[in-house]
Amino acid sequence: MDRRLEGKVAIITGAGSGIGRAAAMLFAEAGAALVLGDKTEAVNHTAKAVIDAGGRAAALQIDAGVEADVARLVALAQADFGGLHVAFANAGISGGMAGIFDSTPELFSEVLRVNLIGPWLIVKHAGKAMADAGQGGSIICTASVAGIRSGAGGPAYSASKAGVINLVKVSAQQLCETNVRVNAICPGLTETGMTRPTFDYAKDKGVTHKLGKLNPLRRAAQPEELARVALFLASDEASYVNGQAIAVDGGLSSSHPVTRQLPGQTAV
């Protein structure tokens, strides 16, 4: 049985579905007590699933981009479970695929508020709680391959995720000597609540076989595959991993756009 997080207390935002829900189940199975946050009522269903499986969890409906809500999550972890060791800033929104000329300041502001300010608030409040406790800890932020280079999201989303990648690097340095590590995971195409329209469209058109075909593994990811990397970063197994953005994308970001060369063909 995997008990890598035995005795740990973890916060997960965006826990109502997708990667956050998968992480909640894995973290609980590994022994962590959980404080789960999400904007939707689905966070309560995740908490119930954890408890029904024998784990410990508390849930709050929160807006991950509102400072008072993030502070409530940290306070609940300390009050209900006696501390905080792991924080997974996973909540995010896509903002759609509006281009540079079609985007509005309001769209950019909202995407940045949730996707970038939200993780910063987790670093600010959870990081301080961990530093003050003097026992170290791990903060994980969900970025995206869209933050590495273009082609995987709209301008607002891509800019917000590039900001998350830089945020974890700066935060790792700012938390120097606290033994609080800050890292990011960068998902490729993953079947989650946020990407459901893409998957539903593919199902309606009968082209689900084309999803994820641009990466070398030739498929999309499942939330559990991302959650397992988050679990590694949360655990002491990643004790020397800090300030990194780890792409979990089937190899998509390993290459620039090319004409795919099959065995026996000559490169163009």
- Nearest alpha carbon to residue 184 among 109, 136, 244, 130: 244
Average pLDDT on 233-250 reads 97
Residue 201 has pLDDT above 50, yes or no: no
Alpha carbons 36 and 60: distance in angstroms, whole number: 6
| pTM metric for this prediction | 0.91
- Nearest alpha carbon to residue 125 among 182, 179, 181, 74: 74
43-95: pLDDT as tens digits: 999 999 999 999 999 999 999 999 999 999 999 999 999 999 999 999 999 99
Query: Quick check: 118 and 161 in contact, CB under 8 A?
Result: no
pLDDT higher at 58 or 189: 58
Return all residues near 237 (Cβ < 8 A) that are at least 6 apart.
4
Residue 262 has pLDDT above 80, yes or no: no
Confidence of residue 266 (pLDDT cuts 50, 70, 90): very low
- Nearest alpha carbon to residue 81 among 46, 49, 55, 45: 55
CB neighbour class for 254 (10 Å; exposed up to 12, middle 13-18, buried from 19): exposed
In order of their start, the domains of the chain are 9-190+222-250 (3.40.50.720)
* pLDDT of amino acid 63: 98
Alpha carbons 222 and 232: distance in angstroms, whole number: 17
**What residues are labeled active site?**
157
